[in-house]
């Protein structure tokens, strides 16, 4: 290994260590209540050294969100089967997403927080665009929906891309509701799991080819 290659690997390892430290801080206190000073302290670095790697806590948070989406995409891949129809695999992806939220709630919150911001004006717009071209789990979802349209199990009057975005928005909406409105749900005398299952049944009936 050459000197330049070794230095690059060391730099990448340092970046990963910083993101690991930031996760501990952000997941405990929340992004808005955390500071770069706290990240530097957790990473056992000077603040000056920290800024050599990341310009802001938002940039670090982007890396955390990227980790989250990569995990989610892997779970999507694992959930499907070549022997199932596109419609059946869409249902499995839905289950995988709920499983992701339960197992990785902090990563899910990172995704939602990032999506609530405006990527078009963020300071690292190029990184945003590159990531969504390469590792966006929604692109994989579009492929599965396209398969369902092709095999006749998913309605064809809505494009795969539009349908994927719509289902993503609907699912996030219901998951955010059950995670933030627990008292309201309790007062209504229903279970969060029943709300989620009901939503998925509505979605399945809505996208299935008649």
pLDDT digits (tens, 9 = 90+) for 115-160: 776 554 455 556 665 655 666 788 889 999 999 999 999 999 999 9
pLDDT of residue 203: 94
pLDDT band, residue 182 (cuts 50/70/90): confident
Domain with CATH 1.10.10.60 in the chain: 1-54
Q: Would you place residue 186 in the very low, low, confident or very high pLDDT band (cuts 50, 70, 90)?
A: confident
Distance CA 28, CA 10 (A): 27
Cβ count within 10 A of residue 97: 23
Arithmetic mean of pLDDT, 27-52:
95
90, burial (CB in 10 Å: exposed 0-12, middle 13-18, buried 19+): buried
Please give the average per-residue pLDDT across 151-177, as a whole number.
94
Q: Which residues belong to CATH 1.10.357.10 in the chain? A: 61-207
Q: State mean pLDDT over 4-30.
A: 92
Residue of 108, 106, 160, 123 whose CA lies nearest to 138: 160
pLDDT at 7 over 70: yes
Domain 1-54, classified CATH 1.10.10.60, yes or no:
yes
Q: What is the pLDDT of residue 117?
A: 67
Mean pLDDT score of the chain, rounded to an integer? 89
pTM value is 0.84
How far apart are the C-alpha atoms of 31 and 27, rounded to whole Å?
A: 8
**Fold type of domain 61-207:** Tetracycline Repressor; domain 2 (1.10.357)
Q: How confident is the model at residue 113 (pLDDT cuts 50, 70, 90)?
A: confident
- At 6 the pLDDT is 80
| pLDDT at residue 180 in the model | 84
Q: How much is the pLDDT for 128?
A: 60
pLDDT value, residue 147: 96
């Amino acid at each position: 290994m050459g000197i330049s290659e070794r230095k690059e690997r060391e730099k990448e390892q340092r970046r990963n260590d910083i993101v690991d430290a930031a996760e501990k801080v952000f997941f405990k206190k929340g992004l808005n209540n955390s500071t770069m000073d706290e990240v530097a302290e957790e990473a056992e670095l000077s603040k000056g050294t920290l800024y050599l790697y990341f310009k802001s806590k938002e940039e670090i948070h982007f890396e955390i969100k990227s980790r989250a989406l990569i995990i989610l995409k892997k779970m999507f891949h694992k959930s499907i089967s070549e022997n199932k129809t596109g419609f059946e695999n869409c249902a499995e992806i839905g289950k995988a997403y709920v499983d992701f939220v339960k197992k990785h709630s902090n990563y899910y919150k990172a995704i939602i927080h990032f999506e609530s911001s405006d990527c078009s004006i963020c300071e690292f717009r190029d990184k945003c665009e590159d990531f969504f071209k390469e590792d966006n789990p929604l692109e994989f979802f579009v492929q599965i929906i396209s398969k369902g349209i092709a095999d006749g199990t998913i309605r064809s009057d809505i494009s795969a891309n539009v349908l994927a975005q719509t289902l993503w928005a609907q699912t996030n909406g219901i998951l955010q509701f059950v995670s933030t409105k627990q008292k309201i749900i309790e007062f209504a005398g229903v279970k969060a799991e029943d709300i989620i299952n009901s939503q998925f049944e509505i979605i399945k009936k809505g996208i299935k080819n008649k």
